[in-house]
Amino acid sequence: MFQSIVLLAVCKSNLEFTYVFAGWPGSSHDARVFRNSTLGKYLTADDCTLFPTEYHILGDSAFPLSKRLLTPYRQREILTPTQAIYNKRLSSTRVVIEQAFGLLLGRFRRLKSVCMKNVDNILKAVTACCILHNIALNNDDYTWVPIDSTTDTIRNEFVNDGFNNQQDITGINKRNSLASL
């Protein structure tokens, strides 16, 4: 039986992970994992001081839009040209996290099939690989073996997990303001 875990991560433009949260079953929706992560709890708190309000994290449409987490416009309705351009720019920026995951999996190919029975040890191994990934980047080691570009990740952006219709008005205003630039 194949089991998987979710790795929720944030990275900088240089592919260095700044936040990792592992452990939820692979069948868990991204929004649920986010909501239960320490990052999700901090970002949804009114008194969040992780970073100034003019800064934000980018996410895909599986995550809740807020003033600290910007997501694409939903494509359930026809997008305006401004909204379509915003989505394209967001997508081209978000590709950095996909590259970071690709580099991580290329560098630590064993992550594709971890043979451990103890879940706690698996989580420690995944987190350790993320730390070693950062150490390698800090030492200018960008060598890795490319992996197959097909992923085992199943993304269902339209699963209702309590976030799909929940959009923070300040997040909407911030996204609209950025889209109009």
Distances (CA, A) of 10 to 21, 98, 127, 128: 9, 10, 13, 16
Q: Which domain does 170 fall in, by range?
A: 5-179
- Is pLDDT at 117 greater than 80 in this prediction? no
For residue 172, what are the CA distances in angstroms to 45, 66, 69, 169?
Answer: 17, 7, 10, 5
Per-residue pLDDT, averaged over 135-153, amounts to 67
- The highest-confidence range among 3-7, 12-16, 75-79, by mean pLDDT, is 12-16
| The model scores a pTM over 0.95 | no
Determine the residue type at 152. D
